């Protein structure tokens, strides 16, 4: 299933990448890889994660304290936000 980033989610993602890259370039790439892996898990099985509010679901990234909030639309997955989980 295809996916689309909400503009706010894309901005949050870019900020997190910039933060990790600012610490160490390889850490920024590791974060990108973790997000891509999580998005691929969502695409393969979008109903796997529980609904946390109305129709919003959350998938946690591996190795980084972030949750990807998303909804399942008719023809695509809408990524709404990147939530820092501490």
Q: pLDDT of 18-56, one tens digit each?
A: 999 999 999 999 999 999 999 999 999 999 999 999 999
Q: pLDDT of 8-17, one tens digit each?
A: 999 999 999 9
Classify the phi-psi angles of 48: left when phi > 0, otherwise alpha if psi is within -120 to 50, otherwise beta: alpha
Looking from the CA of 56 toward its CB, the CA atoms found within 13 Å total 12
Cross-strand bridge partners of residue 71: 78
Residue 86 has pLDDT above 90, yes or no: no
Hey, where are the domains in the chain? Answer: 3-84
CATH 3.30.2310.20 holds for 3-84: yes
């Amino acid at each position: 299933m295809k996916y689309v980033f909400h503009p706010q989610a894309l901005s949050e993602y870019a900020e997190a990448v910039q933060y990790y890259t600012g610490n160490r370039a390889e850490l920024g790439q590791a974060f990108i890889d973790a997000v891509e892996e999580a998005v691929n898990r969502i695409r393969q099985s979008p109903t796997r994660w529980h609904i946390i509010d109305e129709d919003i679901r959350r998938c946690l990234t591996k190795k980084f304290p972030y949750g990807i909030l998303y909804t399942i639309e008719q023809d695509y997955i809408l990524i709404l936000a990147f939530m820092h989980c501490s």
